[in-house]
Amino acid sequence: MNGKVVIFNHPLIHHKLSLIRDETTGTKDFRQTVSEIGMLMAYEVTRELPTYDTTVKTPVGIAKVKKLAKEVVIVPILRAGLGMVDSIQTLIPTAKVGHIGLYRDEETLEPHEYYAKFPAIISEAEVLIVDPMLATGGSVSHAISVLKARGAKRISYVGLVGAPEGIKKLQETHPDVDIFLACLDEKLNQVGYIVPGLGDCGDRLYGTK
């Protein structure tokens, strides 16, 4: 079955995107707002998590309840993906976290892997790959391939700003994966940056420029 593409249309997300797009927003506010958008998105992204029926004894009787049927694993793509982990974990405190380190070669725009460590339960879990920026799509596509090779079967991607080129790449390479983006921008520029985008997300999160 083909994955879906969900572009969020929510006033709070629109407002918060206006803050992180603004070039005058400093590191502290940028980091906090990226985190807040991640939390707002997580509520919707997790809407279809599988549950099972069970009962609990309340102080006054037996209640029919539903509980999450699967573990959730959040996988940030380093560095920028880290900015979305804490807030998603606030909503899903039992979620485990895997990490994959990728950087984009500035000339070729190809992703290079420098780190990967995942929880052992990855093959049975609902995996949420998080990375704010979907530009060429090379990084997310690579991360999904690595996770599939380690046995992951149920994978969604959650990002903030996407380019049409990135969505196309993911749909070609991993058509089974659901794509959740806070917004879809116009295009990439000659050096592979999203236009109008928000600049280099890792640098803005961590003050490295």
Judged by CB under 6 A, the stretch of 54-62, 65-73, 115-123, 195-203 that binds ligand PRP is 195-203
- Answer yes or no: 94 catalytic: no
Phi and psi angles of residue 137, each rounded to the nearest 5 degrees, phi first: 90, -5
Closest CA to 144 of 131, 160, 132, 135: 131
Q: Is 32 exposed, middle or buried (0-12, 13-18, 19+ CB in 10 A)?
A: middle
User: How many Cβ atoms sit within 10 Å of the Cβ of residue 123?
Assistant: 14
The residue assigned the tokens 């046995």 is: 151
Q: Which residues pair with 103 in a beta bridge?
A: 112
Phi and psi angles of residue 119, each rounded to the nearest 5 degrees, phi first: -65, 150
Residue 166 binds to ligand PRP (criterion: CB under 6 A): yes
Q: Which is nearer to ligand URA, 72 or 80 (CB)?
A: 80
Catalytic-labelled residue, pool 21, 79, 150, 200: 200
Residue 34 binds to ligand PRP (criterion: CB under 6 A): no
Strand pairing category for 133-134 and 154-162 = parallel
Residue 77 binds to ligand PRP (criterion: CB under 6 A): yes
Residue 103 binds to ligand URA (criterion: CB under 6 A): no
192 Cα distance to chain centroid: 20
Q: Which is nearer to ligand PRP, 101 or 119 (CB)?
A: 101
- Answer yes or no: 108 catalytic: yes
- Answer yes or no: 131 catalytic: no
- Answer yes or no: 104 catalytic: yes
Judged by CB under 6 A, the stretch of 11-19, 54-62, 113-121, 190-198 that binds ligand URA is 190-198
Cβ atoms of residues 91 and 81 within 8 Å: no
Can you give the binding site for ligand PRP, defined by CB under 6 A?
A: 77-80, 102-104, 109, 111, 131, 133-139, 166, 192, 200-202
Tell me which residues are annotated as active site: 104, 108, 200, 203
Can you give the binding site for ligand URA, defined by CB under 6 A?
A: 80, 133, 135, 193-194, 197, 200-202
